[in-house]
């Protein structure tokens, strides 16, 4: 019995050694012989992405195979990064095994470049490459530069960081996250609007995100801005300003209007001839006035909010819903004493309240 057991053990050992030797002999030697070659897209290819085509193919990336010294399964990853970042923080566009192409959708490409800090509706420079891997061996293809204009379905904003923030009630100076914002008319639009209080003269910037990665600065001539320039914008005197900017590359304009606010109309003490002034509170960021009104029916009578004692800038309530529209319908009034509040702190969402005292 002992002899039989010894024989079985010897036989099993022989089989194991035989298998291990054979495995070693059949196992290919993995070495980086030749990197993949990216063939599409070519350098300089430009893409203007649209949410209407989100599910469509933006590009079919193709490449010549990498050589790792034998017939092995190769993992391929298409990578993209900002131009000049040397792929320190690449994003993945697609992966395949032992294939020479991958289709990338508009939505996938758009999300990748936005995560890399791309500015919606603004052309940006990016670089793409193919990473090939077998085991611990990795080879990279040539790098091609492409231009991508991404989109967002969110309404674009501009932040206004500057040296005025702390004194004006907007958090720490030069902190974009706490700064007031301008709002565009809608996604894909470049005309921005909003109101900002400056407690003192100050320098400031416009940033498309709540950071300083990119910025709009003072242009070469009055009323213009440039992208990533060196000179800060400036407000010369304290006050409550309406700021309008257009970041369309063919326009790049900015305007600032210092404003004071009042109510006017035949439902107010001054009638249609004299504004009743309102007072701004930096703590609440609202304008208020307590006043006695008379009954006057809209749309022909009532009251409106007016800036600077003239009709160049005024707000009414066309839908009678508490939301203000520039040049909108008169606001009906009812006799009594009221606390009237004007809130211009939310760009393009201007509101008011009338609370009887």
The arithmetic mean of pLDDT across residues 167-182, rounded, is 98
pLDDT of residue 70: 83
pLDDT of residue 299: 96
Q: Mean of the per-residue pLDDT values for the chain?
A: 93
Going by the DSSP 8-state scheme, the letter that residue 176 receives in this structure is G
The tens digit of pLDDT for each residue in 74-123 reads 999 999 999 999 999 999 999 999 999 999 999 999 999 999 999 888 89
The arithmetic mean of pLDDT across residues 49-65, rounded, is 96
The upper half-sphere exposure of residue 167, i.e. CA atoms within 13 Å in the direction of its Cβ, equals 10
pLDDT of residue 50: 93
The yes-or-no verdict on residue 273 having pLDDT over 50 is yes
Going by the DSSP 8-state scheme, the letter that residue 333 receives in this structure is B
pLDDT of residue 28: 65
The tens digit of pLDDT for each residue in 238-255 reads 999 999 999 999 999 999
The arithmetic mean of pLDDT across residues 297-301, rounded, is 97
Band of the pLDDT at 17, cuts 50, 70, 90?
very low
The arithmetic mean of pLDDT across residues 58-64, rounded, is 98
Instruction: Let me know how many helices (H) and strands (E) the chain has, helices first.
Output: 3, 27
Q: Is 250 left (phi over 0), alpha (psi -120 to 50) or beta?
A: alpha
The tens digit of pLDDT for each residue in 121-158 reads 889 999 999 999 999 999 999 999 999 999 988 899 99
The yes-or-no verdict on residue 173 having pLDDT over 70 is yes
The yes-or-no verdict on residue 23 having pLDDT over 60 is no
Residues written for the chain: 357
Token pair belonging to 65: 């195979």
Q: Is the Cβ–Cβ distance between 65 and 73 less than 8 Å?
A: no
The yes-or-no verdict on residue 16 having pLDDT over 50 is no
The yes-or-no verdict on residue 233 having pLDDT over 90 is yes
């Amino acid at each position: 019995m002992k002899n039989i057991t010894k024989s079985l053990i010897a036989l099993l050992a022989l089989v194991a050694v035989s298998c291990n030797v054979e495995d070693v002999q059949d196992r290919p030697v993995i070495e980086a012989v030749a990197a993949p070659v990216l063939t599409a897209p070519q350098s300089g290819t430009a893409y203007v992405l649209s949410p209407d085509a989100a599910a469509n193919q933006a590009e079919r990336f193709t490449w010549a195979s990498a050589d790792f010294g034998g017939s092995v399964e190769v993992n391929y990853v298409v990578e993209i990064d900002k131009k000049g970042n040397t792929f320190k923080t690449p994003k993945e566009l697609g992966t395949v095994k032992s294939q020479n192409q991958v289709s990338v959708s508009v939505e996938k490409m758009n999300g990748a470049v936005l995560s890399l800090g791309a500015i919606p509706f603004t052309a940006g420079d990016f670089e793409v490459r193919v990473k090939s891997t077998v085991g611990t061996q990795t080879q990279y293809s040539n790098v091609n530069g492409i231009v991508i204009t991404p989109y967002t379905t969110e309404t674009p904003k501009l932040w206004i960081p500057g040296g005025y923030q702390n004194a004006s009630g907007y958090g720490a100076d030069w902190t974009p996250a706490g700064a007031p914002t301008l709002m565009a008319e809608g996604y894909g639009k470049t005309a921005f609007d909003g109101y900002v209080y400056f407690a003192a003269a100050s320098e400031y910037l416009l940033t498309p995100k709540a950071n300083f990665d990119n910025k709009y600065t003072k242009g070469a001539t009055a009323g213009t801005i440039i992208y990533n320039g060196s000179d800060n914008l400036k407000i010369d005197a304290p006050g409550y300003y309406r700021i309008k900017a257009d970041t369309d590359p063919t326009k790049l304009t900015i305007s600032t209007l210092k404003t004071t606010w009042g109510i006017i109309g035949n439902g107010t003490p001054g009638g249609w001839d004299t504004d009743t002034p309102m007072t701004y509170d930096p703590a609440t960021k609202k304008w208020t006035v307590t006043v006695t009104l008379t009954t006057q029916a809209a749309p022909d009578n009532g009251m409106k909010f007016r800036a600077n004692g003239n009709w160049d800038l005024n707000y009414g309530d066309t839908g009678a819903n508490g939301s203000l529209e520039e040049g909108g319908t008169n606001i009906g009034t009812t006799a009594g004493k009221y606390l009237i509040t004007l809130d211009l702190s939310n760009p393009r969402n201007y509101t008011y309240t009338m609370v009887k005292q």
